[in-house]
Amino acid sequence: MNFSYPKQEKLKSKNTIDLLFSEGKSVSKYPLRLVYYSGDTTEDLKIKMGVSVSKKHFKKAVDRNRYKRILRETYRLNKHLLVDALDKPHAFMLFYQTKEKWTYDAIHTKTIQLFEKFVAQTTKKED
């Protein structure tokens, strides 16, 4: 399994981000939310991922950047849960949605639960 998060996998396209928020669906597992769009993302990669931490909750950039680093790392270590379940390209955005300062281990556990919930939800819809 490749545990990398290459530059090509990062969600940067404004058009794709707009599609994500206008037509995307979401899955939540407190304090995380995963917004996803499965469709024509004009990319040849199977997955595109972005992370976001609200400026409303964390005023200091240092704090926002720390949680973005944690989200990227937990995604990187657990992306195999998503990749194995996908059959067409998807765009994802992962949000940290609380003012509380959670530990890395707690966020890691919640990320796994969130990805499993996403897989269960998408496989259920296909049946």
User: What residues does each domain of the chain span?
Assistant: 9-120
What's the whole-model pTM score?
0.91
pLDDT digits (tens, 9 = 90+) for 7-48: 999 999 999 999 999 999 999 999 999 999 987 655 567 899
User: What fold is seen in the domain 9-120?
Assistant: Ribosomal Protein S5; domain 2 (3.30.230)
pLDDT value, residue 43: 59
CA angle 69, 72, 74 (to 5 degrees): 105
Q: By 3-state DSSP, what share of the chain in percent is helix, strand and coil, each rounded to 5?
A: 50, 20, 30
The C-alpha atoms of residue 52 and residue 14 are separated, in whole angstroms, by: 15
Contact 38, 92 (CB under 8 A): no
Percent of the chain with pLDDT over 70: 94
pLDDT value, residue 39: 76
